[in-house]
Structure 1
Amino acid sequence: MVSAKTVAKVMAGIGIEGINPRRFKVRTTIADPAASFPPDLVEREFDQGRPDAVWFTDITYLSCGEGEMFLCAIRDGHSRRVLGYSLADHISAEMVTTAIEAAVAVRGGDCRGAVLHSDRGGEYTANLTAQACFRHGLRRSMGATGICWDNSPAESFWSTFKHEHYYRHVYATKTELVAAVDKWIRCYNGTRRHSKLGMRSPSDYEKSLRAAA
């Protein structure tokens, strides 16, 4: 086994270094103290064995030369496919509903009964988000404790995105950042293999399920 010190010495000798996460962190979960919270319908059983049983959603902070942006994504808990996402200059219920509408469209409008699981941020407890879920038959769910472990698939997805792509680049403009996010999500859905999916991409895995049905 090669030690970390040996690896660091070799890397220094050839002039390369590891990828370090950007230290500045923005708080993206701000609960509304007056809000009522839906029950936790997931209880950390994140993969319930079939697509559209549970959708996970969360928001993360991004930055570029023109300022900050926020990315909201909705991902299927079984197939890992990113179903919908949106980017905006600030966190709002509107960006959540935009992602919901995109996810519903991907599923052809047929998503009634699916659980939409999130943290307790105000954008998820907002009436606008509740109305979008009601309109499409989505069952709202929020972690009972309000900590990150209750939505760990979403946190894990952000880690994958940031370490595999975001931290490796510097974006001059918001247009450039949006294009980069679009491209990475297409690649994630279409080509990135997952061991839990039999080394298939999310899109290929869903195709195999449809073929077997």
Structure 2
Amino acid sequence: MIRVLLADDETMIRAGVRAILSVAEDIEIVAEAGDGREAVELALGHRPDVCLLDIRMPRLDGLQAAEELRRVLPGTAVMMLTTFSEDEYIASALGSGAAGFVLKSGDPHELIAGVRAVAEGGAYLSPTVARRVITHIGTGQLGKQAVARARTEILTAREREVLALVGAGLSNADIARRLHVVEGTVKAYVSQILARLDFKNRVQAAILAYEAGLVPEE
């Protein structure tokens, strides 16, 4: 069972999200908060698998809450839920350590898929957000790929292989099946990759994989 903490200052939004997630038999909302500070406090008490945070909240906004949760509960995945798709919010959310970003205006199935993905150690961006991220990568300067490739040179061949699969959006379980290893081995590889690249989360690693050309185009 995936245990979720939901934080949003609008009661109606919380009710809607609760209704959407309730149809998934493997997801359970264990706590709800109306602001970021309450979300952090409840997370410390409930230790959820996933914290689903709105960006704009009183006392402590979602981005600040995500930063604090990353420090005090590194094993808890954070996914941002918002009506805002502006680039600055996307960048800030990913930089704060969030593993996912879903728009409130998106398909309800995206919310369920996102919660499952980040709970498994993966990353999830709603299609709208993904298009923005990939567009920025695609329109960057030609030298950007060379710089990205240079950054990945510190990794072993196996680590680059894992990084490419992270960039393709695979969860740890999927990568383990692809490489015929146990999931714990993949987790160790991912942790080592993030540490060596000085990244906060696998979304940043996935972006680097795209920039370096490690992810084959479909």
Per the TM superposition, whether the score is higher than 0.5 is no
Specify which structure has the higher proportion of helix.
2
User: What is the TM-score of this pair, normalised by structure 2?
Assistant: 0.27
Higher-Rg structure is 1
Higher relative contact order at CA 8 Å, sep ≥6: structure 1 or structure 2?
A: 1
